[in-house]
Amino acid sequence: MIDIAQIGYFQFDNLVRGRIPFVLVNFGVDLSVWYKSVEAMHLEAVTIHATEENYLEQVRAKNLPAHFAIVVLDQDGSKAKKIADSLESAGFMNAHYVRGGFNGIEQEKREEQG
């Protein structure tokens, strides 16, 4: 069964480089090694620096419509799916998580670049 809530490197990179409106729930990942200037400014504008104790409160504080895109990113993918599922249960219908966390998309990026 395909998990439509998961995204990989290609989808994540397109969101950032295309400056697509979304909220990034970031659990301690440093993306400055990948994105500079305009992309970095976009990421700063859309990022919530979250903990497992406060992510839901922070997302709710944004007063987002239920269909607004939310992406959860952690370092290794260990908690992102659970958090995205929790956001969906809280009424956010467009919650996604990055497959394998930053480590996973870093590996995909290396494979894509050969």
Answer yes or no: CATH 3.40.250.10 is held by domain 6-113.
yes
Give the list of residues 6+ apart from residue 83 with CB closer than 8 angstroms, or none. Answer: 25, 27, 52, 55, 72, 74, 97
Span 85-89, average pLDDT: 97
* pLDDT above 70 (res 1): no
- Could you tell me which of 98, 33, 51, 44 has the C-alpha nearest to residue 70? 98
Q: Is residue 101 a contact partner of residue 9, using CB atoms and an 8 Å limit?
A: no
* pLDDT above 90 (res 112): no
pLDDT digits (tens, 9 = 90+) for 7-51: 999 999 999 999 999 999 999 999 998 999 999 999 999 999 999
**Given this model, what pLDDT does residue 4 score?**
79
